[in-house]
Amino acid sequence: MARVKITLPPNKSHKSAVVLIPPGWFVPSSNTQQSSPIGDTSDGSFEMTSSIQNIRSIHDRHFHRWPMPHITLLYPFVHPKENVSSSDDYAKIVETLRDACQNFEFEGGERSLWLGGQTNAENASDGGFGFGGESPFGQFRHSKKSWTLFLRPLPATPPGPPRPDLSSAPASVPWLNSLMASLLSQPLLREYDEQVREGGRLPREEDVSDAALELPKLQKRVEERFQPHLSLGQWSGEQHAKGFLPTLNTTFSSSHRWDVSEVCISQRDGFEDPFRVVQRIPLGRPTAQE
């Protein structure tokens, strides 16, 4: 079957994205042979990232295109060689992103999310995945023969008991929702919402107004629609995906804390080229504790 070509607006490119990358991923330097890690790996988080990569290298068909594990925030994003009439236009968009990230305020100083931990065994035995709203795992069903499994970022204290239905609203990370709403409230960034093409987080085009895009309303829409995820791979059908759950439980039996300190812009030159980190943007204002 021939691949369906998706035509994007002139300000977007599938060769550019804004993502969160877990600690332990090493970003090569463009000027030296050395590389520097994302985040603080002193707490053993490198082991978590290594486990993610081991699974992705086998099961994720996008592994070579997306070599870094990631949670997508904005995609398709702007690319300097494709979507702008001048370098000043690109710089203005990136500067807006940088300002929004650097000025973001973490309420209560909480900037962590959690990955991993075993799913509820009682729910897992009911013939379904057992991925409740607070499960560390989730799935996207693309068709009967295509399922994506992912790690779901969780807050430090998930609200409420696990739900047996995977499709139910997931436990959300409050500060991550606030970050998304803050980014989407910026006029130069709001069109890069990953889910807007599906009638997702932003109001539908005919409903867009200044009032509809006020931060409190965007915050509510994000809480309802945003489903952050770190993809692990694709499986050929429901039974294969379900059958991999014991491996996930074993591999990610312990929860790992991820203190998020930066946002990355990843880009590629051609469709067959791998994404690479081109900019690292500090996230949040420093606090006295930091």
For position 166, which CATH number holds? 3.90.1140.10
Q: Which of 17-21, 103-107, 123-127, 182-186 has the highest mean pLDDT?
A: 17-21
The whole-number pLDDT of residue 97 equals: 98
pLDDT mean across residues, the chain: 80
Strand partners, 72: 19
Alpha carbon distance 96, 100 (integer Å): 6
- 6 within some domain: no
Is the model's pLDDT at 165 over the cut of 60? no
Cβ contacts of 18 within 8 Å, gap of 6 or more: 72, 73, 74, 75, 77, 97, 192, 263, 264, 265, 266
The predicted pLDDT at position 199 comes to 46
Give the pLDDT band (50/70/90) at residue 82: confident
pLDDT at 128 over 60: no
pLDDT at 55 over 80: yes
Per the model's pLDDT, the better-predicted residue between 88 and 281 turns out to be 281
Q: Is residue 290 in some structural domain?
A: no
Is 2's pLDDT higher than 90? Answer: no
Residue 138 carries which DSSP code?
E
Domain for residue 141, yes or no?
A: yes
Percent of all residues in the chain with a pLDDT value above 90, rounded to a whole number: 45
- pLDDT attached to residue 123: 45
Residue 71 domain-assigned (yes or no)? yes
Q: Is position 288 within any domain?
A: no
| Domain carrying residue 36 | 16-282
Query: Which SS3 state, helix, strand or coil, does residue 107 take?
Result: helix
**pLDDT value of residue 101:** 98
Whether residue 2 lies inside any domain: the answer is no
- Over its C-alpha atoms, the chain yields an Rg (Å, rounded) of 19
The pLDDT of residue 264: 97
Residue 71 and residue 73: Cα distance in Å, rounded?
Answer: 7
Per the domain annotation, does 51 fall within a domain? Answer: yes
Number of Cβ atoms within 10 Å of the Cβ of 77: 27
Written as six digits, the tokens of 100 are 């929004």
- pLDDT score, position 39: 74
Most confident listed range (33-47, 169-183, 265-279): 265-279
More confident residue, 204 or 236: 236
Report helix, strand or coil for 87: helix
Looking at this protein, which amino acid is placed at residue 248? Answer: L
In a domain, 158, yes or no: yes
Bin 218: left if φ > 0, else alpha if -120 < ψ < 50, else beta. Answer: alpha
The domain tally of the chain equals 1
* Contact in structure between 242 and 123 (CB atoms under 8 Å): no
Provide the residue type at 211 as one letter.
Answer: A
Return the bridge partners of 138, or none: 150
Q: Give the tokens for residue 121.
A: 């065994």
